[in-house]
Structure 1
Amino acid sequence: MKMLYLLSFSIFLFSCGNGNTQNTTQNHTKLDPVEVPLQNNKARAYFASGCFWCVEAVYESVKGVDEAISGYSGGHTTNPTYESSNTGRTGHAEAVEVIYDPQVVDFETLVRVYFGSQNPTQANGQGSDMGSQYRSIIFYQNEEQKNIIEKVKSEIAKNYKQPIAAEIVPFQKFWKAEDYHQNYERMHPENPYIQNVSIPRLNKFKKKFPELLKEH
């Protein structure tokens, strides 16, 4: 009983969310993608792969990425919040908006970063973060991006016995998360989740792709 309690406590302590989850996702098959225009010669891409604290830190370490913003996407409600999305009932996943210079880093490289910085076979979660709000999604804005995602996904699949879990979904809208979530890893290095989950995930990515990292 004591071991069971300790295990349950550890899962709660090292979890990004509150653990109250239901699997409610949206049928995207009939939706046309929304394309986000360049702003100040910078493009935007959208990814979901577990806790956005982790994903934000990974992308902000990549050359050519100006910023990664934590938020919510892929659901069926408006103005989602951290509390509502964590129930799993809104259909939204924790996602990041990656603002990047396409002259320095291209979309395909960002997709490879996506697959290379997670367990791509885990469905509805990453590690102890489990539920539809932590599911893996790559959002495409046009057919060219969709083809790139499918090509890379097919290549990655050859390295695994289990199927790749990532959904390929037409982008519709990104909702920025609350201010306290932004740059969370950088602002809260003492947080147990950051120390035991986010930083190891970031370091594992850095070791795997040193050629993609910013100099500093």
Structure 2
Amino acid sequence: MNIVKTTFLTLLILASLSCQSKTKSDNQEIAQKEQITNSVKTSLSADQLKNYETAYFASGCFWCVEAIFESVKGVKEVYSGYSGGTEKNPTYEQVSYGRTSHAEAVEVYYDPKIISFTQLVQVFFGSHDPTTLNRQGPDRGAQYRSIAFYKNEKEKKIIKDYIGALEAENVYGERTIVTEVKVFDKFYRAEEYHQDYERRNPNNSYIRNVSVPRLNRFKENFQSYLKEDAH
């Protein structure tokens, strides 16, 4: 009985944690974030970013997804944002409360000489559960759905072939992969305080209980893909 109670309490605590819990209306916390220097994120200039390829993915809370891709070798920069919908210039409050057709997503700048698009697709599928419809961990709603975006037919084939391989090997058993394979249209960068959120807010309860454990699980399974300082 004690085990049942403990499990229930654990689930209750996780249910209370959500990527949605921080909105632009949280004036006090936003003010604190704005005091943090931008040196935390060593952003490259727009001209420097032009030297790299881009890839776009959505797999739950972008705080988690950004941290995962930033730990991967060959990835030069990652931005949190919104994509997959039709509304222009969406805000976090709109997206996180399901008031748009967008999903929380990431924009990945990478060096194809070091890591390939195929490997990024492997990172994508290996760092979340692609069988949970409109949900990832404690975050629920279409804004947290799984999407692999493609910019051309070659990328589309890579994604489709990888899904086919996962299904052929019965990786998820009886569960069906529900990831959307969607042509990329537009990416809207999220508000500044969302960028590098995990690194900037290590004591946040969601980061400690959801984001960091998810990142660590990924690191355990993809050690050969990690940057030297990410081990």
- TM-score range normalised by the length of the shorter chain: 0.7 to 0.9
TM-score by length of 2: 0.80
1:27 is aligned to none
Determine the structure 2 residue equivalent to 1:11.
15
Tell me whether 1:73 sits opposite 2:83 in the alignment: yes
Return the alpha-carbon distance in structure 2 between the equivalents of residues 10 and 47 of structure 1: 24
| Separation in structure 1 between the aligned mates of residue 179 and residue 10 of structure 2, nearest angstrom | 31
**From 125, 128, 134, the counterpart of 1:118:** 128
Q: 1:119 is aligned with what amino acid?
A: D
Point out where structure 1 has 5 or more consecutive residues left out of the alignment.
20-37
Corresponding residue for residue 132 of structure 1: 142
- Aligned-partner SS, 1:72: strand
In the other structure, the counterpart of 2:65 is 55
Higher radius of gyration, 1 or 2: 2
| 1:177 is aligned to 2:190 | yes
**Which amino acid is the alignment partner of residue 89 of structure 1?**
R
SS at match of 1:119: coil
User: Shift in Å at residue 125 of structure 1?
Assistant: 1.3
For 1:176 and 1:151, the matched residues in 2 are separated by 29
Q: Deviations over 1:158-201 (max 9, x none)?
A: 21121101100000000000000000000000001000000000
Aligned to 1:46: 56
Give the whole-Å Cα distance in 2 for the aligned partners of 1:192 and 1:39: 33
What residue in structure 2 maps to residue 159 of structure 1?
171
Q: Which amino acid aligns with 2:223?
A: P
Rounded Cα–Cα distance in structure 1 between residues aligned with 2:94 and 2:224: 38
Task: Note the C-alpha offset of 1:120.
Answer: 1.6
Q: Is the 8 A contact 2:14 2:138 kept in 1?
A: no
In structure 1, give the amino acid aligned to 2:19. C
CA distance in 1, matches of 2:49, 2:19: 31
**Where do 4+ consecutive residues of structure 1 move more than 4 Å?**
2-10
Provide the aligned length of Structure 1 versus Structure 2: 196
SS at match of 1:48: strand
- State the TM-score, normalized to the length of structure 1: 0.86
State percent identity of aligned pairs.
54
The residue type paired with residue 75 of structure 2 is V
Which structure dedicates a bigger proportion of its chain to helix? 2
Taking a change above 3 Å as real, the CA distance of residues 107 and 132 of structure 1, as seen in their structure-2 partners, is: same
Partner Cα distance (1:75, 1:98) in 2: 18
Residue 119 of structure 1: how far off its partner (Å): 1.1
Aligned CA-pair RMSD: 2.1
Q: Which runs of 5+ in 2 are unaligned?
A: 23-47
The aligned residue for residue 206 of structure 2 is: 193
- Structure 1 pair 114–70 and aligned structure 2 pair: CA distance change class (3 A): same
- CA shift at 1:40, angstroms? 3.5
